[in-house]
Structure 1
């Protein structure tokens, strides 16, 4: 999979995409992430990529021309399955969306800034708009990193144990059950006996029951959908 990201602050993506599982995925050649500085396509020698909004009001808007030129330039080399704009008013990002995106070959992500991007880019280029929550960040870079991480870890071969991702929260419309590790008794706090029994069928039943209980308690909305 290849993911291209358009940003005015690419340095914000260096750390989240350059360590741990994302680094491993790229080193294995399973994931390519390329961050492109929007100012490469600036409208003048001063690197301008934003301007005042028509109609007045506070805040700058990312201009049509640099973004259109960036998308056109990058699209010459490949066809993007989705052109994604990270925006607070987009579709809420969920595991099912990550699963679907992990099956794609080429994604392009636009990181907004200021008051956002010119609506004409959204109307004529963007195929998918994603929000990671009902709040506003300084820019789309951190949100883009969340999407790349959630999608990248699902690619075959990225995780040491590929079945791990299948038991994550939300994969089966349930939150993950409680987990324990050694020691079995810590300060008198004991691991449930069932997990020490060696009976895999009963362990699976316990985990399902605990996952269901946790979901009903913490996210009853997931059971109503």
Structure 2
């Protein structure tokens, strides 16, 4: 999973970054609202860990902006603001969960897993993604179109899964390459995208010239 960590405290930030990386997550750690805005606009994330007390702005304003721009993005607030009013304000502003400092690392990881499961519509481990008549079972690595199973390579599956997970926005070529083809050159993306489109058919993946690709859900 790719996590955006927004935390201005150096000691806590380093600790959380190490904890998340030890758990197998890729982490982009920023300390300011302006940097958080930049990275969440330029890159796609599976979740955001957001401190509210930031040096250049209000974390709640950033929270509302993130929720408006990316409705399905899981956001876990981590803050020292511990009053009931603060918690309600954070949840009403769009947080999926609210964790009070100081906290134990294991609890933070458990809450992060929980918000990720909820964002996928999961009560257990199964994640089913849909677009038009396509249905992709992430756990079983099975893709069907109108009930008929389609055969994809591992890379094609990773590309389609990424586009489905972030269907509310255009995915840049760099983002797709980093998630589905981390060890390939830029030409490989074109080849795999051509093969994927050929297998699933026209009308699902739209090219945004000069930027990347977006999945048409409806």
TM-score > 0.5 by shorter chain: no
By relative contact order (CA 8 Å, sep 6+), the higher-ranking structure is 1
- Highest CA radius of gyration, 1 or 2? 1
TM-score, normalised via structure 1 length: 0.29
